[in-house]
Amino acid sequence: MALRIERLISGAYGLSHDAQGRTVLVKSALEGELVEPKRIERRANVLVAEDYDILEKSPLRISPACPYYGECGGCDFLSVSEKVSASLKEEIVRENLVRIAKTEHLPEFLPPSYASFASYRSRCRFHVDMKRKEIGFLRRGSNILFPLDHCPSLTGRINALLLEKEPVLKEAQRKRILEGVNRKTGYVEIPVQDGDEEVSFTDRTITALGYHVNPYCFFQSNLTLLPSMLSFVKENTVGNVVMDLYSGVGTFSRLFEGDERKVYAVEKNPRCLSLSKKNAPHALSFTSDALLFSKKVRERVDTVIVDPPRVGLAPPIIPVITSWNAERIIYVSCDSVSASRDISLFKGYELRMAKIFDFYPGSFHEESVFILEKI
């Protein structure tokens, strides 16, 4: 059964329909391609094809830059160049805004930002098989280890750990004693963070772009592109009072050190907030759930910055944020599906501008910044 790919959707799936009119999602297939699935599985309410032959190839398709592509589960969108990847992800974001947010007039989209796939990734999570003394990532679509001694997307210092192995194995042994293994996979998981001068794979704090960071607290992994996002957020911040919700290690709060703005940094993870206090010492820092804290705000807020997890904002927090009557809301999103849902709920605000930052070339992950203004 041959399927013609109609368009690309979130998750790097090509969307098609079979002869019965049923929707079939084809992993990493590109718009216009004709494919023949080797196997189709039913997942929830959709049909999915992970393995297939390409009968007619898209002119955008290139040879993957990684020899392990298709086996290792670390990347799933290495079939196009970095420039094309950013462009296609922008199309997906546009589609989600129309379909989910019901946006009648799309905002101004600034040109997407992208960088090289090679050696960009400064953060990762190793899976360690202590019995076989092997380190790597999980195989595509499974919980089975794919051992590696080199990954093209990782920085040189992280790749050196894969090659040397012993320091990571020693840390994995310590962590297995203290915390055990992942019950689902049976492997020990070791978060790794490369920084300005060194790499950390314990709970030791290092610096990255001058920020105090730790492998156990989220920080963007593409240090080449991060400065451009930081500049974009700062340029679009207005007024004297800034509310930074889900502030993490103070990634955005730190932008306003040295000026006259009053900044609230709200983060429920105490470990991350302790780093935020180092990165943005002049911000007013609070260890709190964003929703609980938001209900206590009584003063006027000029700009709200939200950088929620992949699931997006908790619905009850949105009317609270809108009640502040902030002039601008800056929504930093790692999933345009949940962001589109949330944006549709900000009553009294209009989506004016958007920009894609392709922090994860080679993967389906997208990073977007949306600028909403008070009507």
What is the tens place of the pLDDT at every residue in 139-194? 988 999 999 999 999 999 999 999 999 999 999 999 999 999 999 999 999 999 99
Tell me how crowded residue 129 is: count the other CB atoms within 10 A of its CB.
19
Longest dimension (CA), the chain: 64
Query: Of 239, 277, 244, 280, whose CA–CA distance to 260 is shortest?
Result: 239
**Is the predicted pLDDT of residue 70 greater than 90, yes or no?**
no
Tell me the CATH class for 3-61. mainly beta
* Pick from 227, 230, 225, 155: nearest CA to 197: 155
The domain spans of the chain are 3-61, 83-116+222-374, 123-213
Secondary structure of residue 303 in the 3-state scheme: strand
DSSP assignment, residue 121?
A: B
Provide the residue type at 228 as one letter. Answer: S
pLDDT of residue 3: 97
Contacts of 258 (CB under 8 A, 6+ apart): 282
Judge contact between 125 and 188, C-beta under 8 A. Answer: no
Q: What percent of the chain has pLDDT over 90?
A: 94
What is the CB neighbour count within 10 angstroms for residue 8? 23
Where are the alpha helices (H) located in 154-266, listed in sequence order?
156-164, 166-179, 226-235
Q: Which CATH architecture does the domain made up of 83-116+222-374 adopt?
A: 3-Layer(aba) Sandwich (3.40)
Q: Per-residue confidence at 97, pLDDT binned at 50, 70, 90?
A: very high
Distance CA 190, CA 128 (A): 8
Average pLDDT over residues 268-273: 96
What's the pLDDT score for residue 358?
97
Strand duo 123-129 + 134-138: pairing: antiparallel
- Chain CA centroid to CA 358, Å: 9
Global confidence as pTM: 0.95
